[in-house]
C-alpha cells in the first residue's frame, strides 16, 4: 500500500474526507522517519515552508483533533493555553524546556516507576506519563 492510500485510509477512519489539503497534512505528519512534537501553529508553518502550501488554521486544527480522537496523535498539555501534539503515540515521558518551548522525549528507563497511592473513585488509570519542566539555571551564569 503506498503512502497516499495509507493517508486516505487514516483520514477516512478519522471521519474526514481525503481532500488535497488534508493529504498534505498527512504527508508532513506521517512521512518523517522520526516522530516529532508540534503545536497547531507550528504545523501550519511547517506545511507552508516545506510544501509551499497554504492551509487554513481551521483545517489543520480540525484534522489534528480528528487524528487525536482516533489515536493517531497524542496531545500533551503544557498549561491551560498551550498544547503540543506528538506523532509518537506510545506511552513515554517528556521534558519541556521553558526557555525554548521545546518538548523533548524522555525514555521510560530514565524515570523510576511512579507509585500512585490513591485513585479517583470510579476511575481507572489509563496511563502515567510524566512531564518535567526545565529551564536554564541562571544562578550559575555571570
One domain, residues 24 and 55: yes
One domain, residues 133 and 96: yes
One domain, residues 39 and 102: no
Q: pLDDT digits over 80-128, tens only?
A: 899 999 999 999 999 999 999 999 999 888 888 888 888 899 999 988 8
One domain, residues 30 and 81: yes
The CATH number given to whatever domain includes residue 23 is: 1.10.10.10
One domain, residues 45 and 60: yes
Q: For the whole model, what pTM was predicted? A: 0.86
Instruction: Show which of 51, 70, 86 is a domain's final residue.
Output: 86
Provide the pLDDT for residue 139.
Answer: 62
One domain, residues 82 and 114: no
Q: Provide the domain limits for residue 101.
A: 91-141
Instruction: Show which of 52, 70, 86 is a domain's final residue.
Output: 86
One domain, residues 71 and 97: no
Q: What is the total count of domains within the chain?
A: 2
One domain, residues 79 and 102: no
One domain, residues 69 and 24: yes
Residue 140: is its pLDDT beyond 80?
no
Task: Please report how the helices 57-70 and 40-51 are oriented relative to each other, as an axis angle in degrees rounded to 10.
Answer: 110
> What's the start-to-end Cα distance of the chain, in Å?
57
Residue 45: is its pLDDT beyond 80?
yes
The three-state (H, E, C) secondary structure of the chain, written as one string: CCHHHHHHHHHHHCCCCCCHHHHHHHHHHHCCCCCCEECHHHHHHHHHHHHCCCCCHHHHHHHHHHHHHHCCCEEEEEECCEEEEECCCCCCEEEEECCCCEEEEECHHHCCCCCCCCCCCCCCCCCCCCEEEECCCHHHCC
Provide the pLDDT for residue 31.
Answer: 84
Q: Kindly state the percentage of the chain with pLDDT values over 70.
A: 96
Residue 142: is its pLDDT beyond 50?
no
One domain, residues 130 and 78: no
CB contact at 8 A, 80 and 29: no
Instruction: Show which of 86, 113, 128 is a domain's final residue.
Output: 86
One domain, residues 57 and 120: no
Amino acid at each position: 500500500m503506498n503512502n497516499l492510500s495509507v493517508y486516505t485510509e487514516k483520514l477516512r477512519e478519522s471521519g474526514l474526507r481525503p481532500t488535497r489539503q488534508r493529504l498534505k497534512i498527512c504527508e508532513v505528519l506521517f512521512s518523517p522517519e522520526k516522530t516529532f512534537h508540534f503545536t497547531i501553529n507550528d504545523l501550519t508553518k511547517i506545511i507552508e515552508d516545506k510544501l509551499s502550501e497554504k492551509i487554513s488554521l481551521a483545517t489543520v486544527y480540525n484534522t489534528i483533533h480528528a487524528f487525536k480522537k482516533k489515536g493517531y496523535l497524542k496531545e500533551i498539555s503544557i498549561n491551560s493555553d498551550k498544547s503540543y501534539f506528538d506523532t509518537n503515540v506510545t506511552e513515554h515521558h517528556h521534558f519541556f524546556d521553558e526557555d525554548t518551548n521545546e518538548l523533548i522525549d524522555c525514555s521510560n528507563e530514565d524515570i523510576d516507576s511512579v507509585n500512585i497511592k490513591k485513585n479517583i473513585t470510579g476511575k481507572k488509570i489509563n496511563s502515567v506519563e510524566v512531564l518535567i519542566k526545565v529551564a536554564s539555571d541562571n544562578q550559575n551564569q555571570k
